[in-house]
Amino acid sequence: MERFISMNKNLKEVLRYMFSLSMFKSLAMSYAYYIHEHVAWRTKIHAKPNIRIHSTASLRNPQNIYIGENSHININCCVWPAADSKIILGDNLLMGPGVSIQGANHGTDKSDIPMMQQDRVNKGDIVIGNDCWLGSNVTITAGVHIADGVIVAAGAVVTKSITEPYAIVGGVPAKIIGYRKTKEEKEAAAQAKASNV
């Protein structure tokens, strides 16, 4: 009985708002948002062949985004260059879910003006090399350059450039935690660690 009353209440709410002004406003806004978030940028980015971008990804200032061949932008990723800087992604880039590449910064030096009204600060382009892997929920901040072959471990925040190719970086702020190894090198390292115990 309780379930029936609750369903009835929900149904009444649906019928009440189905043809309301709020409904049409909401639909129009959702549609405009969808066009802005998921359609308009597709004609503006600079993309090499065979890229994949998940439908939930958000790309802002798309005219300043360059994407290399075979690169992936995954679920819930956000790529946001400043209006006057670029984000350049290399070839064969792997991006886990929730990666955030943020080239834009609000001005913060004045306390008498809200930050959203202060001039933006341009810290330069973000450039990510070829064959990099950004783990899930990684954040890359403005001006950072990442060398070829680097792995950024899940959850890291990269605030400074990573200049060593094939490094593995992790943590907040991200630091080098290792280097990519072959299977044999990994096994040898594990053996050496075990024999030192």
Ligand X SMILES: CC(C)(COP(=O)(O)OP(=O)(O)OC[C@H]1O[C@@H](n2cnc3c(N)ncnc32)[C@H](O)[C@@H]1OP(=O)(O)O)[C@@H](O)C(=O)NCCC(=O)NCCS
Q: Which DSSP letter does residue 25 get? A: H
Asked if 75 is part of the footprint of ligand X (rule: CB under 6 A), the reply reads no
- The rounded distance, in Å, linking the Cα atoms of 15 and 18 is 5
* Options 18-26, 45-53, 100-108, 152-160: segment touching ligand X (CB under 6 A): 152-160
Asked if 153 is part of the footprint of ligand X (rule: CB under 6 A), the reply reads yes
Q: Are 108 and 115 in contact (CB under 8 A)?
A: yes
Q: Are 126 and 103 in contact (CB under 8 A)?
A: yes
Whether the bond between 173 and the residue before it is cis, its omega within 30 degrees of 0, is: yes
Encoding tokens for residue 172?
């907040």
Q: Which of residues 114-143 bind ligand X (CB under 6 A)?
A: 135-136
Q: Whose Cβ is closer to ligand X: residue 87's or residue 152's? A: 152
DSSP track, 143-175:
T-EE-TT-EE-TT-EE-S-B-STTEEEETTTTE
Q: How far is the CB of 174 from ligand X (least distance, A)?
A: 9
Asked if 89 is part of the footprint of ligand X (rule: CB under 6 A), the reply reads no
Q: Whose Cβ is closer to ligand X: residue 104's or residue 132's? A: 132
- The rounded distance, in Å, linking the Cα atoms of 66 and 20 is 43
- Please tell me the count of residues contacting ligand X according to CB under 6 A: 12
Q: How far is the CB of 135 from ligand X (least distance, A)?
A: 3
Which of 171, 173, 175, 189 contacts ligand X by CB under 6 A? 171
Binding footprint of ligand X on the chain (CB under 6 A): 94, 96, 135-136, 151, 153-155, 168, 170-171, 177
